[in-house]
Amino acid sequence: MMPKRITIVLAASVALAATGVGTALAIGAFAPNEKERVVARALTDTHPKNVIFLLGDGMGTQEITAARYYQGVNNPLNVDRMPLTGFDTTWSVKPAAAAPYLPDYDPDSASTGTMWATGTKTLDERISQGPSSAINVPGANLQTVLERWQRRGARVGDVSTAEITDATPAVLASHISLRGCQGPADMGSCASERKGAGGLGSIAEQEVDHKVDVLLGGGRNRFTATIPDGPDAGKTVVDSAQRQRYQYVTDAAGLAAITNKGPRPFFDRDRDRDPKPVLGLFTTGNMSLEWSGPAAATGKGNDPAPCVENQRPANEPSLADMTSKAIKLLDDNNNRGFFLQIEGASIDKQDHATNACGQIGETVAFDTAIGVALDYQKSHPDTLVVVTADHAHTSQIVGEDASGSGLPTGYSTNLTTKDGSTLSLTYGTAGYGGAGAAPVAAPPSQQHTGSVVPVWARGPGSLAVLGTNDHTDLFKTLDG
Ligand code: MG
Ligand code: ZN
């Protein structure tokens, strides 16, 4: 039996949302027979020329649903344009002297990223190294999917709204025992992995040494630190990048102006054959949030209020801007294909911080970046687009009318959605103090959760995400 045809008229859904009328329209943004055509093509078309991999850090089913509902129930997200979906388990492993390693059901971004980057389970906090007897004992370096694409002559890119040395972007182009060893000034816990000790150096140094064609995100302070040893001793990581031919930009205008040709005369015969890599570091730490809003409170929470949008300073590019530019730089005059990872990093960070509007604003911005990738895929059907989260997180959509003993047990925020209704989000994985105890005054960092995460795909190779798989299976899918 053919699946039911699902269509939606965008203009009508916007009108419905504006008037608060709620008829039951199905989500999804497919043209007639589009799903069938996409699935039929995926059955025979299995090898992508390009792969764009997008992940929302901490963006489990509750987080994507909260963003969807906030924007209006009849207003489909870009991710709804991806007809092939599945689930991935995300468990990591605990230290042991040798295999078998016990599962750890509540993983972090380092171990989960290492799963798709290398196809291997490892310890939390570990970056593309295998497990070992203890967290401070380095494991074996594992080849990454980015290194494999590079070896085949493809171009590669790594984009994040976090510091570009944060765990998720780090897994592609560095190997280190602890995620905290981000820059040359942060190597105290990774002393044996310093270049002076015969190691590969900090994450920032390794990312530049990998000559990743496009590196865009925050984290400038890691790169302006001085390298203590090795061939670039006494220089900053930015100096080292420029020695290795990187072009360096620090704001949205600089990014908009740059090409992979670099400042070379047009008659330079190497202009196209030999693109110059781009390092864009737009903030000293993590990039600024898109939205703000009411603080979470224990018990019933605040009186319902909408989020405040457009909070990102204009000199910082949006994730969609970075995505669009990265695709242009990687695609331009390139017949060898490319691999690009895009991370919406602060969904997780604002989930930790019980900041509902911060979290939803980052999810919406991430979905806008998904739209950029899907628009490219439409005109480049040899491109595989995969979307997922690294691990699940804490936020839950709960009843707005709870009272007395039925009140949520954590920190809650009540938001007025674009449909004009109340969306209550609660954060209950840390800090209330237990039954009968007084809640602690300030919300502590909420915890990740261990649920499976959704995976969406569109393009050649997308059938691999169907059903329930493990994050380590993504390694093969992303390898093309
Ligand atoms: Mg991350
Ligand atoms: Zn986290």
> Is residue 25 domain-shared with residue 88, that is, in the same domain?
no
> Is residue 404 domain-shared with residue 356, that is, in the same domain?
yes
d(CA 16, CA 28): 16
> Is residue 40 domain-shared with residue 57, that is, in the same domain?
no
Say whether 109 is catalytic. yes
Of 13, 92, 109, 177, which is the active-site residue? 109
d(CA 247, CA 238): 10
**Tokens linked to 253:** 């205008």
R_g of the chain, CA atoms, integer Å: 22
Instruction: Provide the edge-to-edge strand list for the sheet that holds 422-427.
Output: 297-298, 411-416, 422-427, 396-398
> Is residue 171 domain-shared with residue 82, that is, in the same domain?
yes
> Is residue 220 domain-shared with residue 153, that is, in the same domain?
yes
> Is residue 16 domain-shared with residue 146, that is, in the same domain?
no
> Is residue 55 domain-shared with residue 31, that is, in the same domain?
no
Q: How far is the CA of 150 from the centre of ligand 1 (A)?
A: 22
> Is residue 368 domain-shared with residue 413, that is, in the same domain?
yes
What string of pLDDT tens digits covers the 480 residues of the chain? 444 444 444 444 444 444 444 455 556 678 889 999 999 999 999 999 999 999 999 999 999 999 999 999 999 999 999 999 999 999 999 999 999 999 999 999 999 999 999 999 999 999 999 999 999 999 999 999 999 999 999 999 999 999 999 999 999 999 999 999 999 999 999 999 999 999 999 999 999 999 999 999 999 999 999 999 888 999 999 999 999 999 999 999 999 999 988 776 667 666 666 789 999 999 999 999 999 999 999 888 899 999 999 999 999 999 999 999 999 999 998 999 999 999 999 999 999 999 999 999 999 999 999 999 999 999 999 999 999 999 999 999 999 988 888 888 889 999 999 999 999 999 989 876 656 666 666 788 999 999 999 999 999 999 999 999 999 999 999 999
Count of domains for the chain: 2
Q: How far is the CA of 125 from the centre of ligand 1 (A)?
A: 12
**Bridge partner residues of 455 (DSSP):** 86, 388
Q: How far is the CA of 471 from the centre of ligand 1 (A)?
A: 15
> Is residue 256 domain-shared with residue 312, that is, in the same domain?
yes
**Bridge partner residues of 414 (DSSP):** 424
Q: Return the amino acid letter for 392.
A: A
- For residue 28, what are the domain limits? 1-44
Q: How far is the CA of 343 from the centre of ligand 1 (A)?
A: 7
CATH of the domain at 355: 3.40.720.10
> Is residue 16 domain-shared with residue 75, that is, in the same domain?
no
Cβ pair 95, 123 in contact under 8 A: yes
> Is residue 105 domain-shared with residue 242, that is, in the same domain?
yes
Q: Side-chain half-sphere of 14: how many Cα atoms within 13 Å? A: 4
> Is residue 226 domain-shared with residue 180, that is, in the same domain?
yes
